[in-house]
Structures are given as structure tokens and as C-alpha cells.
Structure 1
Amino acid sequence: MPSQPDSSQLNNGSSAHRTLSGGGEMGALMRTIDWAKTPVGPVEKWPHSLKTAVRILLDCRLPMYIAWGKEFTQFYNDAYRSIVGNKHPAAMGISAQETWPEIWSTIGPMWVEVWQGQSFGFDNFKLTIERFGYPEDCYFDFSYSPVPDDTGNVAGVLVTFTETTEKVLLQQRLQASADQLTRIFEHAPVGIALLSGPELVYEFVNEPYLELVDHRPVIGKPLRVALPELAGQGIYESLAQAYETGQPYIGRPQMLLKRGQPPTLQHCAFEVVYQPLPDQQGQTESIVVIGFEVTELVKAQREAELANRAKDEFLAMLGHELRNPLAPILTALNLMQLRGTSEVERERTIIERQVRHLVALVDDLLDVSRLARGKLTLKKQRIELAEIIAEAVEQCSPLLEQRHHQLELQVPNTGLTVEADPRRLTQVIANLLNNAAKYTEPGGKVTILGERLDDEVLLWVRDNGSGIEPELLPKIFDLFYQEQQSMERSQGGLGLGLAIVKNLVGLHGGRVTAASAGKGRGSEFSVWLPFALATQAEETLEVIPNLSQPGQLRILIVDDNMDGAEMLATSLSLYGHTIQVAHDGLEGLKAAQSFLPDVAILDIGLPTINGYELARRIRQLPELQKIRLLAVSGYGQQEDRERSLEAGFDLHLVKPVDFVDLNTALFEEQP
């Protein structure tokens, strides 16, 4: 570093003082240097051009640097201080070659050309500068200009600098991110496109997107021009709305017409996302379109739905076809009982029990179908749990007695009120009781307990039977699940009962659990139901009159199942009713007009015209305005019952119909 003069030397040079006045920190530093010992000599002997350049340099707020003379002696201002880094303050007043050896091979040749009168300017020029002992890549906007001496010859280089390192590094990071995002888009397994401006011009598409548009050259084209086949399918409109509102659009699988190979329109399914991208003012600038074809998936889903629907229809048809032959069998059994054929009572009882078991299996199949489709509805009323349990026990008594089980009831008659469908809740408890009876050795014990816990009613069904292995408990309520049985399948069943129990309890707003200490140690099923608070006026149940000795009626039976119609007619005639039978819809309509019945029992699946249409036509006959119409069908789903009511039926009964229930229904609708 040049030596520093004493104050007397500086004061004696008033010209030097004026030249180096001001300038902040760098001006103060220059005033301490003995310039006489540098190549530029004492300040008072500097050429006028150098003095002027230095005064401008010191007053300038932008980074400025002067290299003077053939030795390139350096001058710089406060704004340039950070560029010099740890080379300051030694760099002031010494040769540029000595200060910047690491970049002299770059700037030296340029300065030689500046010395010849040329100027240079660069933006974001990269220089590797040693700062704080370490080389660092830096970027600058700068210019090199020649500085003339007093005679007009080039005597120095004026350098103006603005460091842009942070800006360049930020741009590099942004560009790297953009490049990475582009690579991600290019290699994404879904189609991606970028549409810009209100005309939605393609700026970018990846390979999967090109496959979706049949590899057409879409870049630079508006969407409507590139893909004209989308007109009228709502795509243009959805994209325009996303662009105008700035709100993203998510399109679920939808069928669209797209061009394929060969160039024909094909129906395909797509999922799409339109994501608007705003500019700095928040206005939509472009839209990212993400789309992928799901045609095969949608086809598979539709096929699964069709298969599921076919399964439900099959189960409904199966139930109908099974009920048709069961109806005359059960009616014949009732008829045998009425006639008092005691010689075959044992056989009759066995047949009846097996028929009712078969009916229960059909009901379970149809219940599973209804539950799976959410078609099963409840007819709730406020009722004491004890009444439901009594009905369930009555249904299960034959099995309990057959296996000589001890049944213990610990349920209060009142205080356990629930809001429930009595028939369905009875079905729940009866299923649990049947399970307990089946899986408990003869002479075992079955216990039913009930109590109220806060706002819930809790019911237990316990047995000391075969129990359940711990690993099987989580599966016990699954459809079609049964614990492994012997080859004889001594317990029977389809494995549907507990699945139906779980679903029915859930429909009542409750829950059910199973517990067992293990094989041979019994089991316990717990049912929780919401407790129903009492109201000031409880609904009273309608009392069904005693119809053991009903009056005589004129009854028309229309059924294409001749055996079923004959058995039903024979049974009803024992009560003194007058019966007429027809076997198709048109024959039934003629019979109704001539016979003028009080009650008509109509099958639904009739030849010529079905039971629904027959009911409508009978209702239109003026002379039969008060007739009672009963639908008796193998179809018993809720929609079947609703169709019957719409057609004019008073009641819909499902085959096989219990004879006592049918006789009651002749006069009044069952609850």
C-alpha cells in the first residue's frame, strides 16, 4: 500500500485537497495516501482529466472504478467497496494486475482494446473473484470506457459496475425449478398441457397429453383450432369459466368424443383438472390442464355395477321362483291341519318346519340384497324391548325345546323403550337366539339380559355352547362367514344371519359386538340401542279383531300357478267363502266383472296383463268400487310393495303366505 503523508504535506497542496474532498470513506482513504510514491504522482501534478474523473467518482452513488495509466493504478468509490471485498484497503492506489490476478486474463485483453479507444458493456457478466480468502462466482452489469488525458489521448479505463450476483442466482434457482418442473411434467404419467391467454393457446404439452390428442401438432394453436372435435361437449365452456373466475375445475370421469386411430371419433372417459395460474396482479395468465384417460376403469366399474345389479335381480328372481312352489306346499299343509288328518301329523309337522326354514333362507338372501343396495327401510315405532324379546322367544321356542335348552330371561317388562321396527328388531334377536341354540349342546343354557345404561338400552344373549376362537371374532359379522363345520354341516345356514344382525342394528342407530373366552367356553352377543324417551301420549297399537269366525266373502283368486291357486281356493272355501279362480289377467278381469267379488287375491306375474294392470282396471269398474285387493307375489322388495300401492292394492303379501295371516288380511290390513 502506498505510504501516507503527514498533515503538513497535505495542507500544502490545496489543489490536492480540493480534488480529494468529500467522497465518504474512500475519499478519506485517498487523502491519507502519499500519491507521490505511486505511478500517478502527486495530486497537484495530476492532469486535469484525472482530477475531474476522481471528483466524479467520489461523488457518484453507483459503483465506479478508474484504472489510470499504463500501470492501471486503481481508484474506486464507496459503492464499489463491497466489490473489492477483502482486497480493500490495499487495492486503493496500486496496480490492477496486482489486485486482480485471478481475472486479469479476462479483463486485461479487454482493457488493451479500451486503451485503443473502444468501449465495452456487459450484462450479468460472470467473474470468479477471491473474496474473504475464497474464490466466488460473481455477476455484474458493467461497462469499460476510455478516459482521455488533457491532450485527448487515452490515459485510463473507467469502469462502472452494478453487481447482479443475487439476481442472477435467484434467476438460476427459478430457472432450475422451472427446468425441474418441466422435467416432472414431461415424465409425468398423466397428460399435462399449458394453455395461455383468453384464446387458450397451447404453450406446453407432454408426451402422455400428445397421446391423448393423437400426436397432433398443437403447440402455438388455440384450443378450439387444435381440437375442434371438443365442440359441444362442455370442455371449451369449463376452461373459459376457469380462466374468467380463476377457480380450479375438477372433472369426475365423463364420457367424451376424442379422435383416435384411424382418425375417427371414439367415446372415451377422462378425469381432468383445470388449474388457473395468476400473474403478479392476480389475473389469470394461463391454465394448467391435467388429464388422464380412465375408459377401461369406467367400463370395469360399469360392468361391476351391471354384475351387481344382475346379482340383485337374480336374487329377487330366485326368491320369486322359490316362493311360487313353496306357497301351495304351505297352503296344503295348512289345509291338512284344518281337515284334521292326524295319521300324517308327524310328517306334516316335519314338512312344515322344513318349508318355513326354506322360507327363512330365502328371506335372508333377499335381506342381504336390500341391505347391500340401501333399499331396506324401517317402520319404526316406540316399543318396550320386552315385547320384542317375547316375540323372538316365541319364534325360537321350537328349536330351544327340541334341543332341551334352559332359557333364562332377565329383562324388565318396562323401562327399556326403544324406537324400532318391531319386525326387524325381532329378526335381530331371533337370529341371535337361533345361533345360541344351534351352537350349544343339548341341555345347555341360553340367557337373555336387558338393562338401561345412561341413554342406551343394552341387550345380552349369552350361551354356554361351543364358543368362538379369538382369531375368528373379527370376522364373525362378515357376509357368508361361518365357523368351519364338520362335513355334515350339522348347523346349516348360509352364513348371512349375523351380517344381517349387524346391518339391522346399525339401521336402528345401534351397534353389536361378539365376545367369547374361546372354544367350548360359550359366547356373548351384546346389542346397544338408543333409549327412547317417553312422550306424554304414547301411540296405541291398532287392535286386530278376532277373525277366527269370519263372515262369508266372495273371493276371486287370479294366479297362473294352478297348484297354488287350487290349494288356496280349497283352504278359503273351508271358511265358507265363495271362491272363483282365474289363471291369467284377462280371464281374471272378465271374472271380476261377472263374479263381482268382495276380495280379489291377485298374483303379480300374470300372463296377458300383469297383476298391477289388472288391479288398475278392476279399480275402474263402477260396480267394484269397494273391492279389497290383495297382491300375493314372490316379489317382496320395498319397490314392489310401493308399486302395488300405486296400482290400487290394499295390501302386498309375499309368498308363501301363512294361511292365518291371509285369512286376517281378507278383512283388514295387517299392522
Structure 2
Amino acid sequence: MSAQDPVPVGMAQSVERLDWEATPLGPVADWPRSLKTAVDIALNSRQPMFVAWGEDLTFIYNDAYADILGSKHPSALGKPFQHIWAEIWDDIRPLIDRALAGEATWSENLPLTMNRHGYLEETWWTFSYSPVLDEDDRVGGMFCSCLETTSQVLAQRQSAIERQRLFEMSRDLFGIATFDGYLKSINPAWSSALGRSEEDLLARPFAEIIHPDDLDETVNVIAALMKGVPVHQFLVRLLTQEGEPIAFSWSAVPDSTPGSGLFYTVGRDITEDLRREEMLRQSQKMEAVGQLTGGLAHDFNNLLTGISGSLDLIESRLAQGRTAEVSRFITAAQGAANRAASLTHRLLAFSRRQTLSPKPTDVKQLVAGMGDLISRTIGPGIQLETVNAAGLWPSLIDPHQLENAILNLCINARDAMPDGGRITIETANRWFDQRSARDRGVEPGQYISVCVSDTGVGMTPAVQAKAFDPFFTTKPIGVGTGLGLSMVYGFAKQSGGAANIYSELGQGTMLCIYLPRHLGEGELAEPLPEPASVPRGAGETVLVIDDEPTVRMLVSEVLSDLGYTAIEAEDGATGLKVLESDARVDLLITDVGLPGGLNGRQVADAARSKRPDLKVLFITGFAENAVLSHGHLAPGMHVMTKPFAMDSLGIRIRELIEAG
């Protein structure tokens, strides 16, 4: 500072008036230019600054720093640094030595216990120490720019305390985890929810406490986090100390520090939410059952009226001797019985309990082969377009059921376009990851899709929500059963796939069936030629097991008419006694569902232990498909579904007896 320099107010006046000759610095006029410059910078700044010069580090500071000194001001001016800040000297001496050695230093939120107002207080500081050279280019002192951060640090500390309190009190599971599979930090809710100690949870790989079925989902989430992608609302179940699963909805975000290998996660117990959802589903299911029961009763009452009425008239006409009219009523009764069988078939397809005959199927060839049939069904006013993907994968399905499903969808599409339009059947290969599979209701993996779309009236969201419900229909009374889409849905589910609807009102509808890919070659089943007549037997013996007397009577009558000897049994135990005897049995015909503790499959398996070459024909009402291992039967075992034509039964019996 020179004599001709303008004299600022405040500390500048105090510095000007101080008797510097009594300090190691001497008169201001003799100060080095670098010292004057540093002091001028400090005095003209609103940032707290000071200069410490010479061997004693004589203190010169500005107005902003005077507030920091508290009761030490104004006597601190011109005093040695060590004298002014004796209580923190040992803490900051290493930083001062580095500055005097020519090194600029920086400290952030450095804690110092200071005495500024006659008592010790905790304070925090962010400051820099910079060396200042004299005229001989040697370090003559240091320059400091500083900022007290005590209030910010205390506020952060209070916030941290509050966060910690929330962390400890929360019922949600908060945790910090590593990508290599361990929990690093958790809140007490983990122990409360899982009945495991914190030490145990931190010591073991967290894969050990995850439900085995959710490990793949966890691996996918961690893979996304490692790429820096947050993941929200994913379901992973954890196991309690007793091994009971608890469902949690999780969110996880990766740590923003590069290379930290950490992520943060929070999980909320949704067991009660899932319970309420299940109660709602049960309520909706009961509503559907009520609708199903009403629709079923209506349709079957009509069919039973046709059958019983026809039988009454047959009896009446025979008593009157009017036999010429009997055939008409027989035809009516058979027609009603066939419609009842079709209705049952559709119901069991919806409930996914029909008997399927899956085989590797070339779906592209199947769809292409249906073109003429579909065109005749939908009529000339609707354009049909087929788009088959090149290299379409095969699928292990029942091809005839897929044909029925596609035909049902095309009929629905036709009915949605009363003024004509276009139907498109499109096939494609699809590969679903966890998220896209969950959206479609299937397991992740490879699938083929068969989509039927139309340019019709479309569906409202409310109609879409009920479209797969049995007996739900938007068609007029008497038009359709309301089981077409139910059957499509049930077939897709039972085949390991799914069916989804995509529709907008006025914009048309697309319904897609997703079927699992089969790793092998596909084939298209050819229909078997029908024999010209039913062959007769040659005295062979057939054991018939069925708990329904009428069925036993009818089958035995057919066998007798065709030249076979029939042995009847009303349950599995009785039939098994016959099979374990020395009686001749060339073929076993048995219902699958039998009373007395032995079902038809168990009887057949037990009989084969003594008669390994025994031919078996299961007759089933569709619903016992699981007992039959879903069509995976041993050689020599076959299935017919009730009801069946008696001549078809005779043909099958002859084929089985003659086989091998």
C-alpha cells in the first residue's frame, strides 16, 4: 500500500492508522509491492480474506474477516497468526507449512474448535492458502480466502439425522448393495420383516434370501443397473428366517459415482395389496361363475329339451306303430346331443382342461391351407389377406385346435364388419424378454404369433376387459354362444402361450395368439381316411370299466353287436380284479375318472405290470387330461373323448386289437 493509493473505508483506515513500525513489518512505505498488492486485494473484497506475512505471520485482514474474529477484533490486527488463533494452531499448522513451502492448498468443510466470543465452539471452514512471493521471489507470506460453512454443515447434519431417523423408523426396506451380490447397509426394517439379524443379512450373498423363482428377474435388474439405468416397480420375493416368502415391490437406482459398484434400493411389502387383489379376483371369478352357470343352464336346458322331447315322441310313435316317423326324431335328438358335446368342448377349452393331441406343427403351412375354408366362411364381401413370416418357427400344439381357433377369430372378425372389409391373418416369430413377456402373460422366451385383424367396429375398453369371459357376447340374443373367444383363450393358455386383444373403437381389432416355439421340424397332420364299414370282431374279449351304467350298457351293446365278448366293471378296484385274474382280456376300455380311489390311468398302469402288452383305450369327458399326462401316453394307450359315435368306437376297437 502506497501513500498515493486511495484510502478505502473500514479496515483500510484501521490498517492505515496502525503503528506498523512497532510490528515486524515496519512502515507501510517499506512494504514489498507483492505484500501491498495482496493487502489491497483483501481490503477491497467482500469475501473474508487475510494476509499473514513474515516469519511471525503478522495478520492483516478485511472487514468481512473482522466479523469472523469476533471479540479478537480489532486487537488481532498486526498480531502474529499463532497468537491470534492459538486454539486451532496445531490443527492448521500443517496447511500453513505447506503454503510457506510454496504449495497452494484447499480445504473444504474443515472442522475447527475456535474461541471467538470467550467460549469454545465447533465451526467448519472452506478456505484456500496461497503462498505470496517477496521481491527476491521467495515465499514471504500467505494469502487466505475463506468461507465459514458452519450453518450449512449443521443443517446437513440435522438433515442427515432426520434421514437416519426416517431410515430407522420406516417399514420399507432401504438398502445399499454391491453389484457383486452383497448388502452393504440396511435399515432395521429388513430384520423386522425377515426375522434375520443385520449381521446375517450383511454377511451372506443376498441371492440366498431371494425366492428361487425370482432370481432371473433380479439378475436382469442388476444388469440394467450396471448400465446406469434405474429400475422401478419390479416384484422380488424375499425369504424369512423360516423360509416363508414375502412379496416386495422394489425400486433401484445405480450410484452416480463412477466405479463405485453400488446401487440403492427400496422395497415395500405388498403382501396385503396382493391379498386384496386376490380377493377382488375371487369376487370377479364368482361373478363369472354365476354368469357361466346361468348361460350353461340356459343352453343345456334347450339341448336337453330337444333330446328328451325327441325320445318321448319316439316312444309315442313306436307305441302307435308309426315307425316311419321315428327317424326324424332320432335325427333331432342326435343333433341336440352333438351341439351339447360341442358346447362342453368349448367350455373345457376355456377352462384349459380339454384333451389335446400336440404335435410339431408347421403353422405357416396350416394357415396357408385354411385359405379356401375361411374364404367360404366369411363370404365374398370381405377380403382375406394372409401374411406369413419367412422362416416361421414350428410349434408343439394340437393343429386341429389351432384351426378351430383361427376359424373362430375369422368368424368374429366377419361379424364385426357387417358392411364388408378386410381380414388379415399374420404370422411372425417373436422373442419376449421379462418385461414384454409379463405384458403378454407368458414366460420369457421364443414364440410364434398368429394374429387376426379386421377393419371392423372395434371394441371399447370395457368390452375388451370381458371379451374372454364365457358366455359374454355383444351379439343379439340367439346369435352366437359367447364361447368363441373363451375357447381361443383357453387353447392358447393350455398350449403354454397366451391370447391378447388390441382394439380401438371404430378402428378395428387385432387378436394375437402366442404359442411357444418348438425346437424341431414342424409337420402338418393329414386326416385319417374313414373306413367304408365297421369291421366285426372274432370273439375277442373287451373289459369295460365305467361308473355310469348307461355308458357301460351302450358300449357293451356295441361290442356284442360287433362280435366281441364284453366284461363290465363299475369301478377301478373291480376292473383290476378281473385284470389280475387269468381271464382273457384283449382290450381294456376304461373311463379316466372312476370312484373308489383308483382312476383309469392307475388301473391301466397296474394291469400292465402283469399284462405288459395289454391294449388300452381311455374314454374321457375331456376334464381328466392332467391324469393322462396331457397326452403323453405309453405305447398301446389311446384316448377317445365323450361323446363319440358308436361306429367310430367300433373302428377304434378293431384297430387297437389288430395293432401289433
TM-score range, shorter chain: 0.5 to 0.7
Alignment of 1:250-649 (within 5 A): 252-257=236-241, 269=246, 271=248, 290-297=266-273, 343-370=325-352, 380-381=361-362, 383=365, 388=370, 421-428=398-405, 430-431=407-408, 471=460, 477-480=467-470, 482-484=472-474, 489-491=477-479, 493=481, 495-501=482-488, 541=526, 543-544=528-529, 546=531, 548-552=533-537, 553-592=540-579, 593-608=581-596, 609-621=598-610, 624-636=611-623, 638-642=625-629, 645-646=632-633
Tell me: CA distance 1:436–1:468, structure 2 relative to 1, closer, same or farther (3 Å). same
Counterpart secondary structure, 1:548: coil
SS in 2 for 1:491: coil
Q: Which runs of 5+ in 1 are unaligned?
A: 6-25, 30-34, 61-75, 128-137, 144-157, 225-230, 259-265, 397-404, 531-535
Kept in 2, the 8 Å contact 1:478–1:499? The answer is yes
Match of 2:216 in 1: none
C-alpha separation in 1, matches of 2:629 and 2:490? 23
AA at the equivalent of 2:403 = T
Larger radius of gyration: 1
Partner Cα separation in structure 2 for residue 3 and residue 223 of structure 1: 71
The within-5 A match list for 1:82-161 is: 82-86=41-45, 100=63, 103=66, 110-112=73-75, 119-121=83-85, 123=112
Q: Structure 1 residue 566: deviation in Å?
A: 0.4
- Judged with a 3 Å threshold, the aligned counterparts in structure 2 of structure 1 residues 369 and 307 are, in CA distance, closer, same or farther, namely farther
Structure 1 residue aligned with 2:10:
none
Q: Which residue, 204, 212, 218 being the options, matches 1:237?
A: 204
Q: How much has 1:353 moved relative to structure 2?
A: 2.0
Which residue number corresponds to residue 66 of structure 1? Answer: none
User: Paired residue for 2:145, among 158, 163, 173?
Assistant: 163
Residue 632 of structure 1 and its aligned partner are, at CA, apart by: 0.9
Aligned to 2:240, what secondary structure does the other structure show?
Answer: strand
Secondary structure in 1 aligned to 2:533? coil
Is contact 1:557–1:569 with CA below 8 Å preserved after alignment?
yes
Shift of 1:190: 1.8
Secondary structure at 1:165's aligned position in 2? strand
Q: Is the 8 A contact 1:126 1:140 kept in 2?
A: no
Q: Deviations over 1:441-480 (max 9, x none)?
A: xxx9999999999999998999xxxx96875885684434
Q: Provide closer, same or farther for how the CA distance between residues 346 and 268 of structure 1 changes in structure 2, counting only shifts above 3 A.
A: same
Structure 1 residue 550, shift from structure 2 partner? 1.0
For residues 204 and 83 of structure 1, the distance between their equivalents in structure 2, rounded to whole angstroms, comes to 49
Q: CA deviation at 1:568?
A: 1.4
Q: CA deviation at 1:628?
A: 1.9
Say which SS state the counterpart of residue 566 (structure 2) adopts: strand
1:571 aligned partner, one-letter code: V
* Cα gap change, 1:381 to 1:568, in 2 (>3 Å): farther
The structure-2 alpha-carbon separation of the partners of 1:111 and 1:277, relative to structure 1 and needing over 3 Å to count, comes to farther
> 1:309/1:254 Cα in 2 relative to 1: closer, same or farther (>3 Å)?
farther
Question: What's the secondary structure of 2:43's corresponding residue?
Answer: helix
Question: 1:654/1:277 Cα in 2 relative to 1: closer, same or farther (>3 Å)?
Answer: closer
Do the aligned partners of 1:502 and 1:512 also contact (CA within 8 Å) in 2?
Answer: no
- 1:588–1:255 CA distance, 2 compared to 1 (3 A): same
TM-score normalised by the chain length of structure 1: 0.54
* Residues 481, 496 of structure 1: 8 Å contact kept: yes
Q: Alignment identity in percent?
A: 16
TM-score of the pair, normalised by structure 2: 0.54
Q: Deviations over 1:239-289 (max 9, x none)?
A: 6999xxxx899992234149xxxxxxx9672649899999999789x9978
Q: In the TM superposition, what is the alpha-carbon distance from 1:38 to its structure 2 partner?
A: 6.8
Match of 1:65? none
C-alpha distance in 1, partners of 2:276/2:355? 22
CA shift, 1:422, in A, is: 3.8
Computed over aligned residues only, the root mean square deviation of the Cα atoms, in angstroms, reads 7.1
Contact preservation (8 Å) 1:589, 1:618: yes
CA distance in 1: counterparts of 2:373 and 2:472, whole angstroms: 26
What is the distance in 1 between the residues matched to 2:629 and 2:61? 103
User: What is the alpha-carbon distance in structure 1 between the residues aligned to residue 238 and residue 641 of structure 2?
Assistant: 41
**Paired letter, 2:83:** S
Change (3 A) 1:81 1:195: farther
Q: Deviations over 1:535-567 (max 9, x none)?
A: x99878475462614130432211121111001
C-alpha contact (below 8 Å) 1:202/1:223 kept by paired residues: no
1:365 CA displacement: 1.9
Relative distance call for 1:99 and 1:170 in structure 2 (3 A) is: closer
Alpha-carbon offset, residue 501 of structure 1 = 3.9
> Structure 1 CA distance, aligned partners of 2:452 and 2:183?
68
8 A Cα contact 2:399 2:524, kept in partner? no
Secondary structure of the residue aligned to 1:657 is: coil
Q: Distance in 1 between matches of 2:257 and 2:415?
A: 75
Q: How many residues get paired? A: 518
SS for the counterpart of 1:361 is helix
* 1:10-68: CA deviation from partner (whole Å, max 9, x where unpaired): xxxxxxxxxxxxxxxx9xx9xxxxx9x97578x9xx4684449998x8599xxxxxxxx
What amino acid sits opposite 1:479 in the alignment?
A: D
